[in-house]
Amino acid sequence: MSALLFSALSRLRRLASLLRVGALSCAMLALSIPVAGIAPAIAQEEAAPVLRQPPPGYEKELLRLSEVLGSLAFLRTLCNAGDAQQWRERMAALMESEARDAEGRARIAGAFNQGYRAFSVTYRTCTPAAREAITRYLAEGERLTRAIAQRFGG
């Protein structure tokens, strides 16, 4: 199941890269079109406003996936799973591919930390309930990555 999650995350990273290239191309084209009636000196003096890209259409799912990864990072470590470090690495890869600016990184990291803390305040040892939570979060993570890839993966 985690291989499928990893594969879907890879597809999501490729999609994000393509979307960023397309948005950058559109922005460069829009900035290269001269505006009639503006003197060059005035145009040079005015600083261009910082263009913030709107969040991707899948941001809600992306933030939930980040939260799930945070929960799995805590729970898999708690239960001494061999793949515990993998969840942090996957989160790092997700941040690298999806966080377009400091604000985006903060949202994604905040969701991961929220998922991590949600279980860290409750669980001190690996219990049957913690193992059940792992099973459910693995399934939810798989569902989220499939949904994102199907809807936005092209």
Q: What is the average per-residue pLDDT within 6-26?
A: 51
Q: Which residue has the higher pLDDT, 109 or 9?
A: 109
Helix (H, G, I), strand (E, B) or coil at 37: coil
Q: What is the average per-residue pLDDT within 89-93?
A: 92
Rounded to whole angstroms, how far apart are CA atoms 4 and 14? 15
- pTM to 2 decimals? 0.66
pLDDT class for 4, splitting at 50, 70, 90? low
Please tell me the predicted confidence (pLDDT) of residue 14: 59
Please tell me the predicted confidence (pLDDT) of residue 9: 59
Residue 151 has pLDDT above 60, yes or no: yes
Per-residue tokens: 60: 């809600």
Per-residue tokens: 48: 């261009």
Residue 107 has pLDDT above 70, yes or no: yes
Rounded to whole angstroms, how far apart are CA atoms 63 and 44? 39
**Angle formed by the axes of helices 2-32 and 84-98, nearest 10°:** 10
Average the pLDDT over each of 31-35, 56-60, 121-125 and give the range with the smallest value: 31-35
Rounded to whole angstroms, how far apart are CA atoms 92 and 112? 10
Spatial CB neighbours of 101, under 8 Å, sequence gap ≥ 6: 52, 53
| Nearest partner of 78 among 37, 121, 123, judged by Cα | 123
Is the Cβ–Cβ distance between 2 and 83 less than 8 Å? yes
